[in-house]
Structure 1
């Protein structure tokens, strides 16, 4: 080899060695991160359970609301019966007054149930949003890792190609040792 060819081969070998060390460092970091991602606690099950709890609470209020709706239907039937028979009743004012008090109690219960329902539905929707956000965040971490892994795989392939180039162009060629010593000395 000429001195210039030897210089180019030595430079290529040094560059390959630096790239190999950097690539190995990056691979170790990515492998460690992959292990962390794989061993991360599965918060998906916990989030799913929280969403299920909030949904059950909302359904419970809906069931109570259905019972209340039956009470309103019963009251409506009794009020219709009262209106139909009030002319023949003895003391219809008392019955009317009792029905009006019951109507006020039913309205108060309905307002309370509507407030509870709104609160439970809002809690359920918040739990669903949190679960979706965390699922998306986990997916983002995984896709980010995949992207960096693909970039590192490309860098590893480039390093392999550079090492093959050195092996084919420089590996088995003879050179003068005094040229190598001079190059290392900066001449």
Structure 2
């Protein structure tokens, strides 16, 4: 009676495929630091008094909105003064609002740095699992070597069978080895399922953490870009206000009338 030949089956192939599938994704890129920039200069809260010795124009005192009073040139009309004062207040409020965004941006950046350290630790833990997979791979190789040796022994036995009692002893040895290898295969398969299942769960968890971190970084970078754009626009508007209103003269009576809602 011939002894059946054992084969490795899907064990080695499945193990190899599972190990190859466990390569984690690349580490997420760090978000860029926000560019430090000085806030736009706020217009003065109160108009400056006219220079000593300056002669008031007919109809009341002539003041300046903060810059050095221009020599000559037209005085702001009441409507122009109203527009300049309103724009000054608007720019000031916009500057206050953008200033309040600095601290939350910095806090979120620090939180991202902490989360990146958590992801880094998860990556290191994932890498440490390779030792378990490598140990299992070594067992599978040893199993394969024994299968190869048994198959050769079976082929030799079938081609040149011993006689009488020697044949029975050899057949018993081969059958014993075959049973041991069958049990070993079942154990290795169970271990393979355990190792690959745990490894895949760890990879999935790591990928989820990485994806969440990358989304958080993208959101922060978007907020930073919007912050910088708003800050630059306020600065440009403030510069334009200084050029258009800051050194212009106006009549004090017009300012008082505007404050009275006229």
What TM-score comes out, normalization by structure 2 length? 0.65
Which residue does the alignment assign to 2:238?
Answer: 163
Which residue does the alignment assign to 2:35?
Answer: none
Q: SS state of the match for residue 172, structure 2?
A: helix
What do residues 48-94 of structure 1 show as CA deviations (whole Å, max 9, x unaligned)?
Answer: 22222222211211100111111222222332333344352425334
RMSD of aligned Cα (Å): 2.1
Post-superposition offset of 1:167: 0.8
User: Which moves more between the two structures, 90-99 or 134-143?
Assistant: 90-99
- Indicate which of 195, 201, 205 corresponds to 1:130: 205
Ranges in structure 2 where 5+ consecutive residues have no aligned partner: 1-75
Distance 2:124 2:110 in 1: 26
Preserved CA contact (<8 Å) 1:62 1:117: no
Distance 2:115 2:140 in 1: 41
What do residues 126-170 of structure 1 show as CA deviations (whole Å, max 9, x unaligned)?
Answer: 322322332232222122111111111111111111111211111
Distance 1:10 1:36 in 2: 41
Distance 1:24 1:75 in 2: 78
Written as runs of structure 1 = structure 2, the 5 A alignment for 1:6-155 is: 6-40=81-115, 42-90=117-165, 92-155=167-230
The alignment status of 1:182 with 2:254, answered yes or no, reads: no
Greater helix share, 1 or 2?
1
Say how many residue pairs are matched: 187
Ranges in structure 1 where 5+ consecutive residues have no aligned partner: none
Q: SS state of the match for residue 86, structure 1?
A: coil
Distance 2:256 2:102 in 1: 34
Preserved CA contact (<8 Å) 2:115 2:213: no
Distance 2:215 2:125 in 1: 22
